[in-house]
Structure 1
Amino acid sequence: MTSSDTREVATPDGPGLLHVAAPDQVRGVLLLGGGHSGQVRTVDLDAVAAKLPGHGWAVVTYELPWRVAGRKVGPRPPASDPAWLCGVEAVRATWPGVPVVTGGRSAGARIACRTWDADLAGVVALSFPLHPPGKPAQSRLGELAPVGVPVLLVSGARDPFGSPAELEQALAEPQAGPRELVVVAGATHSFRRPAGARVAAAVAEFVGRLAADRSV
C-alpha cells in the first residue's frame, strides 16, 4: 500500500514542501526536484512517483521555498542549493539507514549534481540540460562530471538542451563516477504523457540495481 502526505521543511530561504509517496516498507528513497519553474507535478515526476513505491521505494518531490512563496522562476544557480540540502537532510532523518538517491528534472537535475555527496547511492538526472538551446559552447558538463556516484540520465531524443549524440560525446569525457544514458524516442525536453512510463521504468531499474549492489 502507498501512503501520500506533504511535509514542511525549514530552510534559510523559508519553508519548502516535501510531497511523499511511500510504501509501508521503505527499501530506499528518491528525492526529486522540479525544473526551471519549480513545478513538481509533471509527467515524468508523476510517473516515477506512481511506479517506485510498488518496488519498495519512497518518492519525495521537493517544492523549493521560492516556489512555495509563489514565485514562478527560481534564483540563478547555485542560490537554491542550501535549501535543497535541507530537503536531503530531512529525508535522511526520516528514513535512516536506507539508500538515498537524489535527482530531478532539468534545473533540478543540475542542483542534484552540484550537491551530491559520497553517502548518496546515486543521482537521477531527467532531461539534464547539457547546454542552453542553440548554444553548445555553454556546456554544463562541469556540473555533471565531478559526481562520484552512479548517475542515470534520461533524455528525449529531440531535446534541444542536448541531443543524444551530444550527451554521448560529453559522457565520453573523463567522469568521476559511472554514467548511464537512456534516450526516450520522440521526446523533447518536457516528456509528454506516453513517455512517462518509459522514464519511470528506467528509473525503477536503476534504483533497483543500486539497492541490490548495496545489499551485496
Structure 2
Amino acid sequence: MTTTSPVRTSTREVPTDAGPARVHVHRPAHVRGSVVLGHGAGGGVEAPDLVALTQLADDGWLVARVEQPWRVAGKRVAPAPPKLDTAWLTVFEALRKGRWAVPGPLVVGGRSAGARVACRTAAQLGADAVLALSFPLHPPGKPEKSRAHEAQLVVDAGTPLAVIQGLKDPFGSPDDVSEALPGVPVFPAQGAHGFAGDAGDVLDEARAWLDRF
C-alpha cells in the first residue's frame, strides 16, 4: 500500500532527566498510524535498517526515530536499561501532546537494545504492536543468558509482536528466536546483527507485516 502524499520531516529535542533526547519525525500528509523506533547500544538512528524504515512514511505511517540522550550527548556507552526506559517514556509524554502528537494505532520498536526497551515498556505505553529488529536474544556465545522474558512481556499482554532477525546474528538466529518465543512471527533477513547493505529486505518484511496488522 503506497500513497502519493508528501512527507514532511522535522527534528525535535525533548528534555529528559538524562539530558535532551532527539526525535526525527517523518510525517505523511494523511497518517494511518505511527511507528516509533529506538536505536541500539552500539549506534544511532542512522543505522541502515532504521533509515530504511523511514520509507514506511510513503505508505502513510508516521515514522519517528528516537535518539537517546546518551547518544545526543556524544557518549559511546549506553547507560543501564532503567535509564533507557525512563528517557524513552519521557519522550512519549511529549509525543502525545499538541501538534507533535503521534496518532494511533501505535507501533513501538527499534533495533537491538532499542527493541528491548520497546518490549519492556510497550504495556505502559499502551502500544498496539511491537516491531523488534535484531532482538538480542542473548550475548554472543552465551545462550544461557536469555532475554526472551523481555519479549515475552509483550506476548503475555496479548500485544502483537514481530521480530526481524539477521540470518547470521550472533545474538540469536531467527530459529533461536522462534524457539524461544513460540507463536511469534520471526522474519529472517540477510546479514548479521546489523543486517546487510541497505536493509531493503527489512523494509519489505516490516511493510508486509504492518499491512496485515
Q: Same fold (TM over 0.5)?
A: yes
TM-fit CA distance, 1:189: 0.5
Q: Name structure 1 gaps, 5 residues minimum.
A: 173-177, 211-216
TM-fit CA distance, 1:89: 2.5
Once the two structures are superposed, the pairs formed by residues 20-39 of structure 1 within 5 Å of their partners are 20-39=25-44
* Alignment-mate amino acid for residue 204 of structure 1: R
How many matched pairs? Answer: 202
Q: Name structure 2 gaps, 5 residues minimum.
A: 1-5
Aligned to 1:81: 85
* Alignment-mate amino acid for residue 145 of structure 2: Q
TM-fit CA distance, 1:38: 4.4
Q: Percent identity?
A: 44
Asked if structure 1 preserves the Cα contact closer than 8 Å seen for 2:34 and 2:102, the reply is no
Secondary structure of the equivalent of 1:179? coil
Aligned to 1:199: 202
What is the alpha-carbon distance in structure 2 between the residues aligned to residue 15 and residue 129 of structure 1? 26
TM-fit CA distance, 1:166: 1.2
What is the alpha-carbon distance in structure 2 between the residues aligned to residue 39 and residue 102 of structure 1? 16
- For residues 48-97 of structure 1, what are the alpha-carbon distances to aligned partners after superposition, in whole Å with 9 as ceiling and x for unaligned? 01x21111001100111111111111112222111001122222333355
* Alignment-mate amino acid for residue 44 of structure 2: Q
Q: Which of 166, 189, 193 is matched with 2:193 structurally?
A: 189
What TM-score does the superposition give when structure 1 sets the normalisation length? 0.88
Aligned to 2:76: 72
* Alignment-mate amino acid for residue 160 of structure 1: P
- For residues 170-196 of structure 1, what are the alpha-carbon distances to aligned partners after superposition, in whole Å with 9 as ceiling and x for unaligned? 012xxxxx62110114x10011225x1
Aligned to 1:52: 56
CA RMSD of aligned residues (A): 1.5
Q: Which of 161, 164, 176 is matched with 1:166 structurally?
A: 176
User: Does residue 131 of structure 2 align to residue 127 of structure 1?
Assistant: no
Aligned to 1:157: 167
What is the alpha-carbon distance in structure 1 between the residues aligned to residue 186 and residue 89 of structure 2? 25
1:96/1:197 CA distance change after superposition, 3 Å: closer
* Alignment-mate amino acid for residue 183 of structure 1: P
- For residues 111-156 of structure 1, what are the alpha-carbon distances to aligned partners after superposition, in whole Å with 9 as ceiling and x for unaligned? 0001112721101100000000000000001111011211110001
What TM-score does the superposition give when structure 2 sets the normalisation length? 0.89
* Alignment-mate amino acid for residue 117 of structure 2: I
Aligned to 1:3: 8
User: Does residue 180 of structure 2 align to residue 180 of structure 1?
Assistant: no
Secondary structure of the equivalent of 2:122? coil
